[in-house]
RNA sequence: GGCCCUGUAGUUCAAUGGAUAGAACGGAAGUUUCCUAAACUUUAAAUGUAGGUUCGAUUCCUACCGGGGCUACCA
């Protein structure tokens, strides 16, 4: 069915034709939701139309208003204020709209079919030498939520993770473990595997610094010391061994990486994120060389005297970019060229989204440009979802200063706080212990996820540990609570044998708060679509916050089960039930679960 | 130096070029014989500076000032 905003715009165009004998395109007519503080549902902005009406804005508004009322039965009245024509829709329209969607299970979603565009979303992409931290949390939550949102917008989504499991940094951890590990394992130490390996990475760095200091005090320059420190040389040797498939090295590498994966798996499960497919750099790092060779042959890339291969992007306002070192080995960019190519072969995607921080904006610009130069038209289908850094009250996270917020620690802390608050409020008294834990977990994660996702992805965000644990105001638990309270009302209603079956003809008049809710819900398909188009879960978060605020207002002033008028009672119950389902569905897109009671 | 992002109440966030710039936290004052008060109601408080485009600018353009990032034969 055609949306009412479009119908208003269409009929307004007709009005202009009939009244002023002038053609105005429907797209040029501005129809927007009326401000909260004005009477009306939708507003036609008539300022621009005075150009064709050759009359004052007020007069133009009146004339178009009369025309619209005569031609659109849904319009029950209008008001003109300056250049704004505020149209009021009848209660029948809103109730009729609600009747059509009341039983929808995934209201506003577009179904995925075999013809749906294929969208690959790469996110998370961790290093196996460091445990996940707050920055990864934003990445994971964004990647997951964006995937869900665009899936709900009718795309066939493939969530993929490219694990950085090789390279000199991994060798550092391995070397440190060999030297100082004394055979320690996650089992023997009781440590999470990723944490244990992370410790050895730090240990390497510490020893490296000691060696550097010594070398410099012996008269070496810093640059020289950095390459000549014995420990880094050892790590280089190990990398070479790894690349030559030395069995012992490969065995250790496999073992330690598996520790890390077990650790990551646990964190991913806690966060509730998942992937359709994992890629490993150890299997992809050689990709891309062929592409570079082809590019050299066709002359779009060039060699320098030392044999290194480059792309010249100066014509596009960028620099020259190295693609193969003089020794023929590849760099990170080379591999990304290769994996993009591989993915296109594999999925023939309509779009490929990389969820990666904005510190890599330049990298992705180059990636796209080089692929284009190589003649791949699908380069335009690549999109870098560039999100802002997460800052702490004292500035950026710096491992050197020990200000890195560990993902597992943060989750644990959130759950502890949820437990404490629940206890203080006495909310979970009488709940079985397992349910208590489940509720605290869901509240904690709901708070964390909402806190991060409500911010526009593009923006740098401030993470204040104390605020994030807040459960009041514009927070996840606030939304969860509203939904839970509706579920409770539903149970009460069921006990009293109230069904919530609505009968359109019996609903005479809407309460203002009921009207606001229906109008809000009517907007949802547009919001969801826009969130998918702009890849912004924040839009959904804001929508549900507004909806929930309005619901709480309604709840305060409109009795549901206690309403004596049967038609009203049924309508309110049906509306409440719909909203609870709607919240649960929408929060699901953000990866937030709702407890049954809290 | 070059390139990119970003400046909104005390703080953290909103606002497809539209009306009197919205919330939340924090501050002040209220609401439980009534469906869960993790709620609701009332209240004070902000667009970095200067120009430009427009009927109309927080939004677009230019300059300046402030914050962040990138600019490796690292990944």
Could you report the per-residue pLDDT of A477-498, keeping only the tens digit for each?
Answer: 999 999 999 999 999 999 988 8
Q: How far from the centroid of its chain's Cα atoms is residue A75's Cα?
A: 38
Domains of chain A, by residue range, sit at: 4-89, 167-278, 414-589
Work out the average pLDDT over A247-273: 97
Distance A475 CA to B27 C1' (A): 20
| Nucleotide at minimal C1' distance from the A327 CA | B73
Q: What is the DSSP string of A414-463?
A: HHHHHHHHHHHHTTTTT--HHHHHHHHHHHHHHHHHHHHHTS-TTS-EE-
Give residue A322's pLDDT: 94
Which positions 533-552 on chain A have a beta carbon less than 7 angstroms from any atom of strand B? 538-539, 542, 545, 549, 552
Which positions 105-124 on chain A have a beta carbon less than 7 angstroms from any atom of strand B? none
Verify if strand B has an atom below 7 Å from the CB of A286: no
Q: What percentage of chain A exceeds 90 in pLDDT?
A: 83
Does the domain formed by A414-589 have CATH 1.10.730.10? Answer: yes
Two domains, one topology: A4-89 and A414-589: no
Work out the average pLDDT over A15-26: 89
* Local structure of residue A219 (DSSP, 8 states): T
Give residue A394's pLDDT: 84
Verify if strand B has an atom below 7 Å from the CB of A242: no
Write out pLDDT tens, residues A423-453. Answer: 999 999 999 999 999 999 999 999 999 999 9
User: From CA A200, how far away is CA A173, in angstroms rounded?
Assistant: 5
Work out the average pLDDT over A32-42: 93
Give residue A582's pLDDT: 98
Verify if strand B has an atom below 7 Å from the CB of A475: yes
Is the per-residue pLDDT at A532 higher than 80? yes
Give residue A316's pLDDT: 85
Give residue A184's pLDDT: 97
Confidence of residue A60 (pLDDT cuts 50, 70, 90): very high
Is the per-residue pLDDT at A400 higher than 80? no
Distance A405 CA to B8 C1' (A): 29
Q: What percentage of chain A exceeds 70 in pLDDT?
A: 100
Distance A47 CA to B18 C1' (A): 9
Write out pLDDT tens, residues A215-233. Answer: 989 888 888 888 889 999 9
3-state secondary structure A108-162: CCECCCCCCCEEEEECCCCECCCCCEHHHHHHHHHHHHHHHHHHHECCEEEEEEE
Verify if strand B has an atom below 7 Å from the CB of A532: no
CATH for A4-89, options being 2.40.160.10, 3.20.20.60, 3.40.50.800, 3.30.1360.70: 3.30.1360.70
Verify if strand B has an atom below 7 Å from the CB of A418: yes
Verify if strand B has an atom below 7 Å from the CB of A427: yes
Write out pLDDT tens, residues A261-316. Answer: 999 999 999 999 999 999 999 999 989 999 999 999 999 999 998 999 999 998 88
Write out pLDDT tens, residues A70-84. Answer: 999 999 999 999 899
Distance A482 CA to B29 C1' (A): 26
Write out pLDDT tens, residues A326-342. Answer: 988 889 999 999 999 99
Q: Comparing C-alpha atoms, which of A536, A540, A524 is closest to residue A588?
A: A540
User: From CA A394, how far away is CA A397, in angstroms rounded?
Assistant: 9
Verify if strand B has an atom below 7 Å from the CB of A167: yes
Give residue A329's pLDDT: 87
Confidence of residue A116 (pLDDT cuts 50, 70, 90): very high
In angstroms, the Cα distances linking A190 to A186, A187, A194, A351 are 5, 5, 12, 43
Give residue A251's pLDDT: 96
Is the per-residue pLDDT at A197 higher than 90? yes
User: From CA A131, how far away is CA A129, in angstroms rounded?
Assistant: 7
Work out the average pLDDT over A182-191: 96
Is the per-residue pLDDT at A503 higher than 80? no
Is the per-residue pLDDT at A504 higher than 90? no
Distance A392 CA to B65 C1' (A): 25
User: Which of these ranges, A188-197, A223-232, A346-355, A379-388, has the smallest mean pLDDT?
Assistant: A223-232
Verify if strand B has an atom below 7 Å from the CB of A316: no
Q: Which helix (H) or strand (E) holds A574?
A: helix A566-589
Distance A306 CA to B46 C1' (A): 59
Verify if strand B has an atom below 7 Å from the CB of A164: yes
Distance A198 CA to B60 C1' (A): 48
């Amino acid at each position: 069915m055609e949306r009412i905003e479009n119908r208003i715009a269409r009929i307004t165009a007709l009005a202009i034709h009939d009244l002023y004998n002038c053609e105005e395109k429907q797209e040029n007519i501005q129809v927007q939701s009326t401000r909260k503080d004005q009477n009306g549902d939708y507003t036609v902005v008539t300022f621009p139309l005075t150009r064709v009406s050759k009359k004052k804005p007020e007069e133009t508004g009146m004339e178009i208003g009369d025309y619209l009322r005569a031609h659109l039965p849904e319009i029950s009245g209008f008001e003109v204020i300056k250049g704004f024509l505020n149209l009021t829709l009848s209660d029948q329209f809103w109730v009729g709209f609600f009747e059509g969607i009341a039983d929808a299970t995934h209201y506003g979603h577009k179904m995925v079919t075999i013809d749906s565009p294929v969208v690959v979303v790469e996110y998370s992409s961790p290093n196996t030498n460091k445990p996940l931290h707050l920055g990864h949390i934003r990445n994971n939550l964004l990647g997951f939520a964006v995937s869900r949102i665009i899936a709900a917008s009718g795309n066939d989504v493939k969530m993929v993770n490219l694990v950085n499991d090789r390279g000199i940094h991994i060798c550092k951890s391995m070397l440190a473990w060999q030297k100082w590990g004394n055979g320690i394992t996650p089992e023997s130490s009781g440590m999470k595997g990723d944490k244990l390996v992370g410790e050895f990475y730090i240990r390497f760095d510490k020893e490296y610094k000691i060696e550097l200091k010594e070398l410099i005090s012996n008269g070496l320059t810093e640059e020289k010391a950095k390459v000549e420190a014995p420990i880094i040389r050892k790590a280089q040797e190990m990398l070479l061994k790894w690349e030559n498939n030395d069995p012992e090295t490969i065995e250790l590498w496999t073992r330690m990486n598996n520790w890390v994966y077990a650790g990551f798996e646990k964190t991913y499960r806690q966060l509730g994120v998942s992937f359709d497919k994992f890629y490993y750099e150890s299997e992809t790092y050689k990709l891309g060389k062929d592409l570079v060779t082809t590019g050299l042959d066709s002359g779009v890339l060039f060699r320098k005297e030392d044999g290194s291969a480059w792309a010249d992007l100066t014509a596009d306002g960028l620099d020259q970019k190295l693609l193969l070192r003089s020794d023929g080995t590849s760099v990170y960019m080379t591999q990304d060229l290769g994996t993009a190519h591989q993915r296109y072969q594999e999925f023939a995607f309509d779009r490929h989204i990389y969820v990666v921080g904005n510190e890599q904006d330049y990298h992705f610009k180059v990636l796209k440009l080089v692929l284009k130069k190589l003649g791949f038209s699908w380069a335009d289908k690549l999109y870098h979802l560039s999100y802002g850094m997460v800052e702490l009250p004292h500035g950026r996270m710096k491992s050197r200063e020990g200000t890195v917020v560990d993902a597992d620690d943060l989750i644990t802390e959130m759950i502890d706080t949820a437990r404490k608050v629940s206890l203080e409020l006495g909310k979970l008294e009488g709940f079985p212990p397992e349910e208590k834990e489940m509720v605290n977990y869901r509240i904690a994660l709901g708070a964390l996820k909402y806190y991060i996702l409500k911010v526009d992805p593009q923006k740098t965000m401030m993470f204040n540990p104390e605020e994030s644990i807040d459960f009041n105001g514009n927070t996840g638990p606030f939304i969860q609570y509203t939904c839970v309270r509706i579920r409770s009302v539903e149970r009460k209603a069921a006990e009293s044998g109230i069904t919530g079956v609505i009968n359109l003809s019996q609903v005479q008049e809407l309460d203002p708060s009921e009207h606001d809710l229906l109008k809000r819900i009517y907007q949802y398909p547009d919001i969801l679509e826009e969130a998918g188009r702009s890849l912004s879960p924040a839009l959904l978060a804001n929508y549900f916050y507004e909806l929930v605020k309005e619901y709480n207002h309604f709840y305060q002033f409109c009795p549901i089960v206690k309403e004596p008028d049967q038609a009203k009672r049924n309508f309110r119950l049906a509306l409440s039930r719909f909203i609870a389902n709607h919240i649960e569905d929408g929060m699901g897109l953000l990866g937030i679960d709702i407890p049954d009671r809290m």
